[in-house]
Amino acid sequence: MIVLGDRADPWLEGTFTMASEQYKIQLEETAQQDGRLPHQAGQMVVYRAPAASFSDHDGSISDQACISPPESSLERRQIGWGERSLTDLIGSTSGCPTSRQIAYIGVATDCNYSATFSSSDAVHRNIINLVNTASVVFENSFNVSLGLRNVTISDAECPDSVSGSTEWNMPCPQGNLSWRLDRFSSWRSSINDDNAFWSLLTGCSGSQGAVGVSWVGQLCNSGASASSSSTGGANVVARSRSEWQVFAHEAAHTFGAVHDCDSSACKADAGDGTQCCPLSSSTCDADGQYLMNPAASGGVTRFSPCTIGNVCSQLGSRRVNTRCLVSARDVKDGGDNGTVVNGSQCGNGVVEPGEACDCGGHVCSDRDARCCDDMTCQWKGGDECARSRAGDGDDDGDDDGGSWVKQHRPLIIGLGAGIGGTLVLTMALMAITFCWQRRELSKAILSQISTNRSLTARQTAPSTDGNPATRTKGAQDPTTVG
């Protein structure tokens, strides 16, 4: 789901699932281009995605396929790729990342695709929605998100002649989907990037209603060093009403996925678990319930347990290259320089423009996860969750002293206040004690002085018992001398 516009009541576009039914929310403009709803200017529309299967088929070409590939899409898929039984892998996630990874991708459109939209902004919004929707499925299945790093939108008016390496950007009659894949792969190999793959969105459909074609298992392969310049991490997706499903399907081929078994494959003895993904160890036909069904369907929203086991096994065994995958934690901490243009997605684990935090995918510490609002991706209020910056360091001991002080500021303030209060109380007690001691000393001195005076007065007083008083030295006799 993406937010459009900076306003109190923003527009939304995206896909969501409720009660096992998939729904789309779009601007009226986008829905009109899909030919689904009557005109409702200035509004958003919500409708249920169709569940009926279409007669659109995809062809997935093995990286070892010839220029003239076999006719069967199943045969094209399995060349050099069906050497082990997939039955034992059903439901296994062994080999998939234990912490969430991000696969950066690039998307380009040809003139035929751009012409189906009213503006380049509408094309861009559709691409973001397409990738975001598929990314949720990839994250839930393989623990890998799709990050849209590069977008190339061709003009809606097709060129009259081939221009350089963009031969793929030609009117539909110039070539089928396989023709476009070859030329798009060559163009992709000339780009110096570390994207996991590139997708070409075209407004042209293939022969026999084909809506997609992809090289199998070519993740993280730019094609620049391949034995053939026409192979690499690239696929082609045709515009259709099940577009995001086709995009997810072709992207999964790039990750090494094969087709789910259908009735025709099972009848042809291809459902032995080496040529397609069976439903279970006892049932061959997957009955079109999942995204890797050879026929595109607008109602499917997940990969089969067999596909998950297959892809995880490919990733874990390194039969599919994973060197370009980036840890979501590295992106959160600024350790990767990839700039994602998917639009801000609260909950994807990546702190994007407008977000103060994002703890999706369990990338945050327990403390940050408690303090980050998972609905708004903003820090929660309260003393416990006070933050001086949009994110703290990890709890892995790698933070510097300044970060430690910021993390423990409330504790430091509390300790300082406690110690300061103790010092003030101690000084006050010392002052009171000092004053009391001075007072007691003064009382003792005054008492001693009073005692001394009493003794002196007693010594000088006249005798009262008839005896003459003692004469002191130097006293004169009062008798007159004469």
**Known binder of ligand: residue 249?**
yes
Inter-CA distances, 436 with 7, 15, 422, 424, 445, Å: 70, 80, 21, 18, 14
Contact in structure between 149 and 198 (CB atoms under 8 Å) = no
- Three-state DSSP at 311 gives helix
Pairing of the two strands 210-215 and 144-153: unpaired
How far apart CA 5 and CA 140 sit, in angstroms, is: 28
CA atoms of 419 and 366, how far apart (whole Å): 29
Beta carbons within 8 Å of 254's beta carbon, 6+ residues apart = 196, 197, 214, 215, 216, 217, 218, 219, 233, 234, 235
Burial of 400 (0-12, 13-18, 19+ CB in 10 A): exposed
Compute CA distances 235 → 64, 139, 257, whole Å. 15, 20, 13
User: Given 29, 139, 250, 355, which residue is catalytic?
Assistant: 250
H/E segment holding residue 234: strand 234-238
Cα–Cα distance, 162 to 110 (Å, whole number): 13
The answer to whether 253 is a known ligand-binding residue is yes
Neighbouring CB atoms inside 10 A of 408's CB total 12
Identify which of 194, 321, 191, 193 has the alpha carbon closest to the alpha carbon of residue 256. 321
Q: What are phi and psi of 128, to 5 degrees?
A: -60, -45
Give me the sign of the Cα torsion angle 3, 18, 143, 319: negative
CA distances in angstroms from 272 to 83, 309, 435, listed in the order given: 11, 16, 99
Active site (annotated) includes residue 250: yes
48's torsion region: left (phi>0), alpha (psi -120 to 50) or beta?
beta
- Residue list for the binding site for Zn(2+): 249, 253, 259
- Residue list for the binding site: 249, 253, 259
Q: What amino acid positions are annotated as catalytic residues?
A: 250
